[in-house]
Amino acid sequence: MNLNFGVGSFSFETFPPGEANDNEWENKVRSLLESIPTIRDIEFEGIDSFDAPKTAIHGDWTPDGVLLTPHPCGGSLSYRLNIPTRIQREIVDQIFPDSRLSGAESFYVLTHYRGFPVTWVIPEIEASGISRGSQDVMIVRMFLEREVERYRPNDEIRFTFLSPSPFHCDFALRPSEEELPAPYKLGRIARVGGDELMVAYNGSTFEDGFQAVPRVSYSLSAELSFFYECERRRERRGLTVRLLQDHADELISMASAGHKIWASVAGALRSRRITRALSLQLIISDYDFRLEKRQDEHAWAGISGRSSRLFESEIEEAIGSTFLDDVENMNKIVELISSRQKRSVDMGVLFMTALLTGLIGSIIAIVLTAPSH
């Protein structure tokens, strides 16, 4: 049986983070999924430990909308989901009007937790020339967002997806036309608008494509999980840089406002505190980003030696996006403004000294020339 499917990263976050809450993760997620009428065949397997979010500089962590709250570091979650064609059309038309649907209304959703979650969305229908797995991932993701928001009991649980979901590649599972020395063979084909990853499975090992799904998905999930983890850290670095840029813009605005000598001195004194704080944050970010890059490169060296390396370009791009150029440019701005602040303060001191000297001289002159009685 030919199958087309797609990959993303779906998870469920529970709050507040902590060991006590982690122990209830499976029960809370199961209860939520069971409350959604279109979901059935819910199965958890091997979920017994959790990972805390990792950053290069460890410390107290609070949710920032980028990294996940502690999530399973092993095991899987699967379920089947029914989405009527009418609802699929409503979802697709929001983004790609008149796009053709695969024809499937039942989807098998499987998430492997091997570090960061990797989700496989498989339409339960024979693949056709028009079906695209990436589009099915988008449909299932947007449907789950809506249904979880509708049925979740409180703010202590939410559905989360990590970008890119869908992953920028369509996956196809086909029986091999010849006997293979291994259970399956992988190949990636470059396409305009998104590559295709072809999985040819050995007919003597698997009866059909559905039987091959657990083994193929688990094997590829190690590399894809690491990609999503690197991608999340890249987004977190980007978020940090945007916040630092806001402070740098504030400094530039304050520096530009000082036209008169009094305004310049006052502005320099007000902005020196911001300058010092931003300078320290830039030093920490530079160290943090470099350390993350070294950690990711070391981890990838270990993973790539025992993986297919099919997603090497995406992983190396995520690792290489360090934002260090942005940090360096902001450092230059801070140094320039700091220099200008020092000149403004020095000028102010000279002006005040001259003014005070003149004032004292005038007072002395008045005293000396005053008539004696």
Computed over every residue of the chain, the mean pLDDT equals 82
**Where does the pLDDT of residue 342 fall: very low under 50, low under 70, confident under 90, or very high at 90 and above?**
low
Whether 81 and 111 have beta carbons less than 8 Å apart is answered as no
At residue 4's C-alpha, the angle toward residues 162 and 189, to 5°, is 85
pLDDT recorded at residue 57: 44
**Where does the pLDDT of residue 94 fall: very low under 50, low under 70, confident under 90, or very high at 90 and above?**
confident
DSSP 8-state secondary structure symbol assigned to residue 167: -
Whether 75 and 44 have beta carbons less than 8 Å apart is answered as yes
Q: Reply yes or no on whether the pLDDT at 121 is more than 90.
A: yes
**For residue 71, what are the β-bridge partners?**
51
Mean pLDDT (whole number) for 344-372? 61
Q: Reply yes or no on whether the pLDDT at 60 is more than 50.
A: no
**Where does the pLDDT of residue 31 fall: very low under 50, low under 70, confident under 90, or very high at 90 and above?**
very high
Pairing relation of β-strands 10-14 and 157-161? antiparallel
Q: Reply yes or no on whether the pLDDT at 110 is more than 90.
A: yes
At residue 224's C-alpha, the angle toward residues 158 and 204, to 5°, is 115
List pLDDT tens digits, range 6-20. Answer: 999 998 988 776 677
pTM above 0.85, yes or no: no
Q: Reply yes or no on whether the pLDDT at 166 is more than 70.
A: yes
pLDDT recorded at residue 53: 57
- Going by C-alpha positions, the residue among 321, 315, 290 that lies closest to residue 301 is 315
**Where does the pLDDT of residue 274 fall: very low under 50, low under 70, confident under 90, or very high at 90 and above?**
confident
pLDDT recorded at residue 131: 62
For residue 11, the SS3 value is: strand
- Tokens, residue 106: 């039942």
Whether 299 and 289 have beta carbons less than 8 Å apart is answered as no
- Spatial distance between the Cα atoms of 81 and 93, rounded to a whole number of angstroms: 20
Q: Reply yes or no on whether the pLDDT at 260 is more than 50.
A: no
- Spatial distance between the Cα atoms of 152 and 155, rounded to a whole number of angstroms: 8
DSSP 8-state secondary structure symbol assigned to residue 200: E
Mean pLDDT (whole number) for 192-212? 86
49 compared with 27, residue with greater pLDDT: 27
Determine what percent of the chain is predicted with pLDDT higher than 90.
36
At residue 247's C-alpha, the angle toward residues 246 and 251, to 5°, is 115
For residue 110, the SS3 value is: strand
| DSSP H or E stretch at residue 26 | helix 25-35
pLDDT recorded at residue 71: 75
**Where does the pLDDT of residue 35 fall: very low under 50, low under 70, confident under 90, or very high at 90 and above?**
very high
- Spatial distance between the Cα atoms of 122 and 313, rounded to a whole number of angstroms: 25
- Spatial distance between the Cα atoms of 276 and 278, rounded to a whole number of angstroms: 6
- Spatial distance between the Cα atoms of 196 and 366, rounded to a whole number of angstroms: 92
- Spatial distance between the Cα atoms of 264 and 366, rounded to a whole number of angstroms: 33
The residue to which tokens 């695209």 are assigned: 132
**Where does the pLDDT of residue 118 fall: very low under 50, low under 70, confident under 90, or very high at 90 and above?**
very high
